Chains A and B, each alone.
Chain A
Amino acid sequence: MESVLFLCIGAGLFAGIQAVLTPNWAGGDVTNSERTITGFDALEENSIDVLFLGASHMGCGLSPMKLYEDYQICSYNLSTSGQRVSGSYFLLKNALQTQHPAVVVFDVSGLFERADTDMNAQWRYILDTLSPGALKWEMAEAYDKEWYSDGKWSVYFPVIKYHSRWAELTAEDFKPKASGFYYTAGMFQNASSVGSPWPRGEVESVSLALAENTLGTLREAEADSVNEIYFEEPLYAPSINDSAAAWLTEIAGLCAENGAELLLTKIPVNHYPQYYLSAWNTLRSDLVQELAGRLGSVFLDLNYEETGIDFSQDTPDLGAHLNSRGAEKISVFMGKYLLNHYSLRQEQRPDYDAALRLYQKTRTVTALQSATDFSAYLRYLSEYGQNWTVFIAAQEEYTSGMADSDYRQLEGLGLKLVRDGNYADAYLAVMQDGQAAYEAVSNRPITRSMELGDLAISLNSSGWNSVSHSSININGAEYSNQTRGLNIVVYDNESGQVIDSTAFDTFVAEKTAFKNVDILFYFLRNYEETVCFAQ
């Protein structure tokens, strides 16, 4: 009896320690795999009509809630970061145990995965989150074949792999694992906007040139001539990975067995092939088209459709992925396409309605964070600012680039003194619940401390004539971008979080936006944690 009790307590301790040491993939990776997979498990049986699968491109680039909002299509985006085609197969197999989607939409980026790329983490995002069972074991076997150094035992006993994390544990690791419906239905919100600098045509021509280039040249110091060698592989290889193609055939088989249509798609990307393995071009598109033909599926390449994507604004990372705004555009296009080509239910569901309310709330944050246009930004402040406190601090010079329309927009927000500022003046303003609570302009530095509810605020603005500085300090933390022009910080009264910090260089007519992408990412995750996941 004593031994049994000893072993039971030991097993409990082991399970607890293992759970703490296993990374919680709810935010650490770029697509929040844990919430995506556990959120799917929380769906009511047979409640979705469309299932989206793929890597981060799909995870960031398609919003099921937008589909629901506009077309009442219930869908789920089961994409995870760097999802391999084999991973998609196992997730689909898992999904088909409880759902009977009419269409499975698969982003084909993974077909071009390179065999020599370390994708261990991408396997683990899924494996560490899947519930124990036969399917997990089956996936562990497949993992074992590819990542034999880890071994399948590290799947069932993750402590084997993760025990060395003891030194890097944080409070997050002691939180319970995510559960319940994921309010985005799997889509990963990425609000920031960092435009792609490369025109589409240039990406296309460069990748074509690289794909043809099999010549290697070498001029050695002691050699008189250039040594030329032809290689089998070109610099940019657009070929489909054999193993990935085989897994896609398995996916097509699963779909056929379960009466689901398989739609292959490619979420738009616009990145250079030298820098990014998933860069896209017509070569790849043609290859997938050919493969889709062999599988009897349709391939919808959204790179070459009129989706309305603007890569100067709709991407958070130079064109590698889409941000939430871009995802909404793709979702609108996809919704129309799906309704035109497939027979889908259009119905309202209480769980989707509840999630949509949260999604719409978060959209106000993502819209603000992704706005790089000064006028659009002010418009969002005007539309959504009822529950926000907005702090504005000018630095160095804020007047030279301002147009009359800009002043009128600001005055529309209740800011009466902003137009009074002269060249290199300091300017401070606080707006609360859509109204100006404090405003000051001066040719000398302005410093203001105040208390707003629980907030201890300390503000500072100084123009070029003094020390060219700005500060927006809330409860001891500095939030101002501290760059030239108007530095704006937005605090959400409901969540008690700062949700945005942007500086517009209003010294120049372009009014260029400066945003710290990492900080905005953190703000958005905090907002989700407080408002969406706490529900």
Chain B
Amino acid sequence: MGFISLQFFLLAALTLILYYLFPKNAQWLVTMLMSIAFYASYGVERLPFLLASSLIAYLAARKMDRLQRETEDKAEAKKKCRPVLYLALAGLIGLLLYAKIGTWVMQSVGAALKIGGAETAKAIVALGVSYYTFSLISYIADVYWRRDTAETNYLHLLAFTIYFPKILQGPISRHKELAPQMFEKHRFDYRQFCFGVQRMLWGYFKKLVIADRLAIFVNTVFGNVEWETGAHLLVAAVFGAVQSYCDFSGCMDIALGFSECLGLKLAENFDHPFFSRSAAEFWRRWHITLGTWLKDYVYMPLVISPQLIGLSKRMRTRFGVRAGKAVMSVLPLLAVWLLTGFWHGSGLDYITWGLYWGVIIILSNVFAPEIKKLAAALRINTEAGSWTLFQMARTSVLFMVGRLLTAFGDLSKAWLAFRKFFTEFHVDGFFDGSLYTRGLDRPNFLLGIVCVFVLWAVSMLQRNGSVRERLAGSNIVFRWAAYYILFFAIIIFGIYGPGYNAASFIYMQF
């Protein structure tokens, strides 16, 4: 039961009805039960893994909470809590690794030990395991650092962990932000409900009309990279970037929009990433909750770790201040980006992808003074709008290149695609009609381009404030026309139904 299914619509409608019909103090129970039903629809056998993870986190947090209350000295309490934290982390990460590499380990070990049937052994992959594991890690870490309070009711933690709008693709919610909202009493708010529905519709538009349409072209071209020209690969790369954005952010809009209908505010995961002027800024605007999670629970702990501080001091003494500073940023960034790569996939292509971004960001950090000097020497007006546009285009190109590394599931094919940009471009591929033979016919291809422009126009409007607020303030004819157009655009132009095999959300696999 994905977000694009009749069952989901029925479940969502039922949740909304029961949520507002039930006594206010039991609303969280409705979301929990509905979430369990949603989760179980993917297979009941996955549920024990989520229950186990949430139980580990619950017990660890309770234990640490008790230790913290029993021990007056904070440093002493922290020391006592540390084994509990590490044990819980080991448990959570162990379950995550089982899902991520369990199949590979079982098959490899089985084959090495010549265990019969090992080649078909398969690990049960709990749905949304990366998302809820990261959420739970942040929960126990925050309890350890006394930034959050431990739940006294396991069901409360379960309700937070399994909350269905976020379980498939995030956002990676923080317990201290979402849980208090879940246990508040929510009255039906018509305006809030309408805003939520509008956001869901916009999400469906991005997913069904744009992402899934472009995906047809992208998959066709990338699936035949050996036979494609550089021109077609370039179009597929551009479409692929937009597809990734619309797919992921569309799903987020649906999740956030539905939560808004319930009066819950989930963390934003996107902030117009293609308007970013640098790689670092891009990743502050793309999958925001993953970025902030890595910053808070990987980067910062590394930066303030005594080992790194010691190393930095030694570097400063031996090679100067700049070297000492560089170490403080290079090593944590490298760790963060390797982890980001691994989070997205365990293959070499994803590790390379992580390193690619890590190196770009590290180099731009380390050589920031030189870059600034160079711009000044070339007399580039870095305040001009054209320079901003150039920076945005450059960032987008970096994203496209990065995506190509993982688009084929095979680095040699990615290398082939890069070569073709320079050796077999064939510019006539743009004009000879062959673009319309790659899964999308002419009307669908052109519609895809029109929709990308619509996306751009709406994004521009969003930069100047809430489009929904402005729409709500406009006259009734314009407002209703906008709603109808959006709704019927999804109905008519969406890629769904038996005529198509609607692609599942890209980020669901994580």
Task: Tell me, yes or no, whether B1 is within 8 Å of chain A by CB.
Answer: no
Determine whether the beta carbon of B499 is less than 8 Å from that of A17: no
Q: Mark A152-189, 1 if CB is under 8 A from B, else 0.
A: 01100001111110110000000000000000000000
Determine whether the beta carbon of B497 is less than 8 Å from that of A160: yes
In chain A, positions 113-152 with a C-beta closer than 8 Å to chain B are 149-151
Measured between C-beta atoms, what is the minimum distance from B507 to chain A in Å? Answer: 25
Measured between C-beta atoms, what is the minimum distance from A118 to chain B in Å? Answer: 12
Task: Tell me, yes or no, whether B227 is within 8 Å of chain A by CB.
Answer: no
Determine whether the beta carbon of B494 is less than 8 Å from that of A163: yes
Determine whether the beta carbon of B499 is less than 8 Å from that of A153: no
A17 CB contacts on chain B under 8 angstroms: 488, 491-492
Complex formed: what's the CA distance from A9 to B496 in Å?
24
- B: number of interface residues (CB 8 Å): 21
From A153, A159, A167, contact of B444 by CB (8 A): A167
A159 CB contacts on chain B under 8 angstroms: 491-492
Given A6-B483, A166-B493, 12 further pairs, Cβ under 8 A = A13-B484, A13-B488, A17-B492, A21-B492, A151-B6, A153-B6, A160-B498, A163-B493, A163-B494, A163-B499, A164-B497, A164-B499
A9 CB contacts on chain B under 8 angstroms: 480, 484
Measured between C-beta atoms, what is the minimum distance from B14 to chain A in Å? Answer: 17
A276 CB contacts on chain B under 8 angstroms: none
Chain A residues with CB under 8 Å of chain B are: 2, 6, 9-10, 13-14, 17, 21, 149-151, 153-154, 159-164, 166-167
Taking each of B447, B488, B500, which has the highest tally of chain A beta carbons within 10 Å of its own beta carbon? B488
Task: Tell me, yes or no, whether B441 is within 8 Å of chain A by CB.
Answer: yes
B6 CB contacts on chain A under 8 angstroms: 151, 153
A153 CB contacts on chain B under 8 angstroms: 6
Measured between C-beta atoms, what is the minimum distance from A137 to chain B in Å? Answer: 16
From A6, A149, A161, contact of B480 by CB (8 A): A6
From A10, A149, A160, A167, contact of B487 by CB (8 A): A10
Taking each of B476, B487, B493, B499, which has the highest tally of chain A beta carbons within 10 Å of its own beta carbon? B499
Task: Tell me, yes or no, whether B443 is within 8 Å of chain A by CB.
Answer: yes
Complex formed: what's the CA distance from A10 to B493 in Å?
17
Complex formed: what's the CA distance from A6 to B479 in Å?
11
Chain B residues with CB under 8 Å of chain A are: 6, 441, 443-444, 447, 476, 480, 483-484, 487-488, 491-500
Query: Can you offer 24 A-B residue contacts whose CB atoms are under 8 A?
Result: A6-B480, A6-B483, A9-B480, A9-B484, A13-B484, A13-B488, A14-B491, A17-B492, A150-B498, A151-B498, A154-B497, A159-B492, A160-B496, A160-B497, A160-B498, A162-B499, A163-B492, A163-B493, A163-B494, A164-B495, A164-B497, A164-B500, A167-B441, A167-B444
Determine whether the beta carbon of A149 is less than 8 Å from that of B498: yes
| Beta-carbon nearest neighbor of B497 in chain A | A160
Measured between C-beta atoms, what is the minimum distance from A353 to chain B in Å? Answer: 45
Complex formed: what's the CA distance from A150 to B476 in Å?
37
Main DSSP-derived SS at the B contact region? helix
Determine whether the beta carbon of A163 is less than 8 Å from that of B491: yes
Complex formed: what's the CA distance from A9 to B491 in Å?
16
Measured between C-beta atoms, what is the minimum distance from A123 to chain B in Å? Answer: 12
Complex formed: what's the CA distance from A96 to B330 in Å?
81
Measured between C-beta atoms, what is the minimum distance from B435 to chain A in Å? Answer: 16
A21 CB contacts on chain B under 8 angstroms: 492
Determine whether the beta carbon of B497 is less than 8 Å from that of A163: yes
B491 CB contacts on chain A under 8 angstroms: 14, 17, 159, 163
A2 CB contacts on chain B under 8 angstroms: 476
| Beta-carbon nearest neighbor of A158 in chain B | B497
Determine whether the beta carbon of A161 is less than 8 Å from that of B497: yes
B493 CB contacts on chain A under 8 angstroms: 163, 166
Determine whether the beta carbon of A161 is less than 8 Å from that of B492: no
| Beta-carbon nearest neighbor of A147 in chain B | B498
Q: Shortest 3 CB-CB distances between A and B: which pairs?
A: A167-B443, A150-B498, A160-B497
B476 CB contacts on chain A under 8 angstroms: 2
B487 CB contacts on chain A under 8 angstroms: 10
A14 CB contacts on chain B under 8 angstroms: 488, 491
Determine whether the beta carbon of B499 is less than 8 Å from that of A161: yes
Measured between C-beta atoms, what is the minimum distance from A168 to chain B in Å? Answer: 8
Determine whether the beta carbon of A10 is less than 8 Å from that of B500: no
Complex formed: what's the CA distance from A339 to B296 in Å?
91
B500 CB contacts on chain A under 8 angstroms: 164
B443 CB contacts on chain A under 8 angstroms: 166-167
Measured between C-beta atoms, what is the minimum distance from A92 to chain B in Å? Answer: 27
Measured between C-beta atoms, what is the minimum distance from B172 to chain A in Å? Answer: 34
B441 CB contacts on chain A under 8 angstroms: 167
A167 CB contacts on chain B under 8 angstroms: 441, 443-444, 447
Determine whether the beta carbon of A161 is less than 8 Å from that of B498: yes
A154 CB contacts on chain B under 8 angstroms: 497-498
Measured between C-beta atoms, what is the minimum distance from A10 to chain B in Å? Answer: 6
Determine whether the beta carbon of B497 is less than 8 Å from that of A166: no
Complex formed: what's the CA distance from A340 to B484 in Å?
62
Measured between C-beta atoms, what is the minimum distance from B205 to chain A in Å? Answer: 14
Complex formed: what's the CA distance from A78 to B500 in Å?
32
Complex formed: what's the CA distance from A166 to B447 in Å?
11
A149 CB contacts on chain B under 8 angstroms: 498
Complex formed: what's the CA distance from A393 to B62 in Å?
100
Complex formed: what's the CA distance from A160 to B9 in Å?
14
B447 CB contacts on chain A under 8 angstroms: 167
Complex formed: what's the CA distance from A36 to B495 in Å?
32
| Beta-carbon nearest neighbor of A166 in chain B | B492
B484 CB contacts on chain A under 8 angstroms: 9-10, 13
Measured between C-beta atoms, what is the minimum distance from A164 to chain B in Å? Answer: 5
| Beta-carbon nearest neighbor of B441 in chain A | A167
Complex formed: what's the CA distance from A37 to B141 in Å?
69
A150 CB contacts on chain B under 8 angstroms: 498
Taking each of B6, B443, B492, which has the highest tally of chain A beta carbons within 10 Å of its own beta carbon? B492
Complex formed: what's the CA distance from A187 to B445 in Å?
42
Complex formed: what's the CA distance from A79 to B444 in Å?
36
Complex formed: what's the CA distance from A2 to B492 in Å?
25
Complex formed: what's the CA distance from A159 to B480 in Å?
22
| Beta-carbon nearest neighbor of A120 in chain B | B498
| Beta-carbon nearest neighbor of B6 in chain A | A153
Complex formed: what's the CA distance from A154 to B497 in Å?
8
Complex formed: what's the CA distance from A151 to B6 in Å?
11
A161 CB contacts on chain B under 8 angstroms: 497-499
